[in-house]
Structure 1
Amino acid sequence: MTFEQLRLDGVSRSFGTANALQGLDLAITRGEFVALLGPSGCGKSTALNCLAGLLPLTGGSIWLDDTRIDGRPPEQRGFGMVFQNYALFPHLSVRANVGFGLRMRKVARAEARRRVDEALRLVQLTDHAAKFPAQLSGGQQQRVAIARAVVLEPAVVLMDEPLSNLDAKLRLEMRMEIRRLHQTLGLTTVYVTHDQEEALSLADRLVVLREGAVQQIGTPEEVYAQPVNSYVASFMGYRNLLDLTITSATGLGTTNTDPGTAGDVTATNSATAAIATGAANTANATATAATATAATATAATATAATATAATATGSSPSGSSATGSSPAGASGTRSSLAGSSVTVEGDGVRLTGTNRDDLSAGPVKVAIRPEDFVVGEGTENALDVTVEIVEYHGRELSISARLASGLPVYFRTDKRLAPGDPVKIGVPAERVLVFAP
């Protein structure tokens, strides 16, 4: 079955009064690898089961191009499914397991044999075709399950945490195997996982879920480096989450240049909130705020025009449809303070960071990756900490330390440290992300 786009429009699923999935909007282009990512109970497996037809929807619809399919039973959707527990028939050989779906579809015997042989070759199990599942390793059983899915030549392959039962070495090997098959066969894959590293390494796009609601949709690079809120940041490895308070925030301004005039006409705004001192000239502050508002409106108009043009042409930054749900701030126009420099304090900490939301005062959540800290004197945003726990990770150590106030701080370093060592660490301001609490 060929198609151009698989689309989920407002897909919802409730169990009694509990909303397991809330209005999922997602468009998947043929050949794309999309990972549904989140902790247990976030709704990712529910979304996959709704897509497979194993759960009826309580709201929304599912479309393959212009054909609505959410009313079809699972066997009529043309999807292949790889389950977490493999779901192999223990009394059937590897060959019989792989060919079971073809037999149910009454595919001609010669064609079925050809397709089974090809599937076994792709997953490197030709020499194990006569064995039974109990005679195989976990990795081999998972490859049988994958072969059984792809032998049907499905429109979409659905994978529900297929590597969670494997040890670390096998997970790495099977991860590469899944990506190789996806690329070799030109599959469209929807993959459920709670493992961030797995999702980042496999997927073209990630859908981060929380309590049934989408938090962010983006490429691995976007979700890793530009999380839209503190939840996504914490889930994507920003282990240091500090509750601090803004003491000052500075808007960087907007510059517009018109090359058609005799000279460059430049409009620059600067909005500074001096929260701690409160010392500002009222008239100047009013004028500055008015200028900032005008510049922001101009920027918003330009952004809206760009977004409209992109929608009309069907383009997206990743080269595929990016339809999806995300919370406020995940996309669209940001205010003049978003992306600006902000100073935060609390618990003996004073840091300069990047304003990820429209924040000028009050409590905030500050997110920093452990690997973004630098050990040594003369570093930006310097902090004095005492080492508590040292974990060996080959060339690096993972350190749990504390500030004098007792606030925990986590960082990584290649320097040899021991519990009780005092050390100075710092982090560049662009690596300090400041979110609404």
Structure 2
Amino acid sequence: MSQMTTIARLATRDTDFDTRLASLLAWEGVSDHEIGSRVAEIIAAVRQRGDDAVIEYTNRFDRLSATAMSELTIGAERLEAAFANVPTEQREALQHAAERIRLYHERQKPESWQYSEPDGTVLGQKVTALDRVGIYVPGGKAAYPSSVLMNAVPAHVAGVREIVMVVPTPDGIVNELVLAAAHLAGVDRVFALGGAQAVAALAYGTQSVPRVDKIVGPGNIYVATAKRAVFGQVGIDMIAGPSEILVVSDGGTDPDWLAMDLFSQAEHDEDAQAILVSWDAEHLAAVEASIERLLPTLEREAIVRESLARRGALILCEGPEQAVELINRIAPEHLELSVEAPQAMAEGVRHAGAIFMGRYTAEVLGDYCAGPNHVLPTSGTARFSSPLGVYDFQKRSSLIQCSPEGADTLGRTASVLARGESLTAHARSAENRLKR
């Protein structure tokens, strides 16, 4: 592939800039009708036939020959053995990451609160953990022990009573690091299941898979479609699209570093997005030269090349203020501010999943061990969504306790409003407690 077509070059001053950027950012997270109907069929079968349907679909899609759910259940001893047997270096890295993730999320934990009014009425909020959550961990092409930690550790910190994990094992291939991470993170039950059938099993329960209250974790288009379909029956974290990185550089960071930062997201898959914004044209040219030189050294060169060609871009803007405007327009999952004064620039950022500040803060550190969660809003949803956190595994109940005086004061207001809405039983219920 020639240098001209490896990655798109855009400039904000170009007349067609807005159109080209919109085209680059366009991502249809909703699956097509055909995938939707196949997923609906799988969900209906699992609801109707439970374990039998789960086994049937798992055998078909993951090329297995299981005859009972016991063959698709991974016990606690197996998880413990995986943790004991992974190389020491990997075990210590998992422990270090898990501890940092735990410490960060401990600070997120909201507390219940209440206050008393002068007449003795008490109002407040009670925070309660979910009883049981399901964690979907991808298998197959890529296995992510980091994903296990990022989903299970906050659930534990939140006080979730039971964590159920599903992870597909295509062709019977089990990732030992994923099992080791599950042991370390205190996952209670693990099933070798994937796809829409795993989501349906978690949402509705089968003879073997317990029904959960919320399903979290990334997956392919079938998993995303299934999560959307069962939402309402259970909670879900988000409908995740492909991974994204937006890097803003003032020209002072090593171009080789930035090229590799872009590659780190592009290597996820061909639909991943890597964009660099700078107001220094020479710097952009230097980064482009680094991309060309370093691409052939990558193990996943073909995937990275395809990702950069499809959805990557080097964007020349007019200055730092316009760079911030672009950040807020793109609302990236991962944002690197590779500039001299990153905290000042971050002040203007309204929409980003995670903000990595300074030349030494590579996005990849957030993927594994910095502490903040790597489950982040994608496809522009950072406009209204947040990273996964302790709050996603808890719910809030309102507390209201009226004193006799409070019942009188509030009852008079409620009565007037209820009668204004022609809801007379509402009004009379309030009036029963008025002081005569």
TM-score (norm 2): 0.26
Give the structure, 1 or 2, with the largest relative contact order (CA under 8 Å, sep 6 or more).
2
Please identify which structure carries the higher strand content: 1
Bigger fraction of residues in helix: 2
TM-score (norm 1): 0.26
